[in-house]
Amino acid sequence: MRFEVRVSKRLGDLALDVDLASDAAVVALFAPSGAGKTTLLNLVAGLGRPDAGRIAIAGETLFDAAAGVNLPPERRRIGYVFQDRRLFPHLKVRANLLYGRQRSGDDIAPTLDLLGIGHLLDRWPATLSGGEAQRVAIGRALLADPRVLLFDEPLSHLDRARRDEILALIRRLRDETGLPMLYVTHDASEIDALGAERFDL
């Protein structure tokens, strides 16, 4: 089973209660803004702690309240592509890509070729288009040697042409890397385009 996320978490007025189990390559979390989608991704990534439950990805337990298991974020091997990309503005693209890379001996050329970003290495993040910045953010996530990729509304700040471009890239990642993906969106057309299993929060 790729995904087992059975957790509960209360944050103020938000009571998140999730029971998700899936073998799908891409699971899309679908809900309007404020429903807890990003909160759930943060729980999976270890950036927050559930009140109760269990999280397992690709057969490894990341969190289990009953067993006292709570792996720190750096041991979860999760590539997280944030909605606002979160590139470091004081680092050029090359340094952004290498930040957090887990295996220093790895050749980054295949990732550069896959994403079409080799020509951007000496650019500053502020000079990138929205689509270029999102490709760099995806590259940084891939170079962290992840077991799973998390996408938090990665198309929300892009125009239609760039949205279609990044969707095609994510489909290619799905097919070529075999990495399971949790994908957050409030747009059902993205779920259809990715052939994802939909899970409504």
pLDDT value, residue 39: 94
pLDDT value, residue 76: 94
pTM (predicted TM-score): 0.92
> 72 pLDDT exceeds 90?
yes
Q: At what angle do helices 160-177 and 130-142 cross, to 10 degrees?
A: 20
CATH for 3-200, options being 1.10.10.60, 2.40.160.20, 3.40.50.300, 3.60.20.30: 3.40.50.300
> 101 pLDDT exceeds 80?
no
Q: Assign 88 a pLDDT band (cuts: 50, 70, 90).
A: very high
Q: What is the mean pLDDT of the segment spanning 46-74?
A: 96
Residue ranges of domains in the chain: 3-200
> 99 pLDDT exceeds 80?
yes
Kindly report the average pLDDT of the chain as a whole number.
Answer: 92
pLDDT tens digits, residue range 107-151?
889 999 999 999 999 999 999 999 999 999 999 999 988 999 999
End-to-end CA distance of the chain: 20
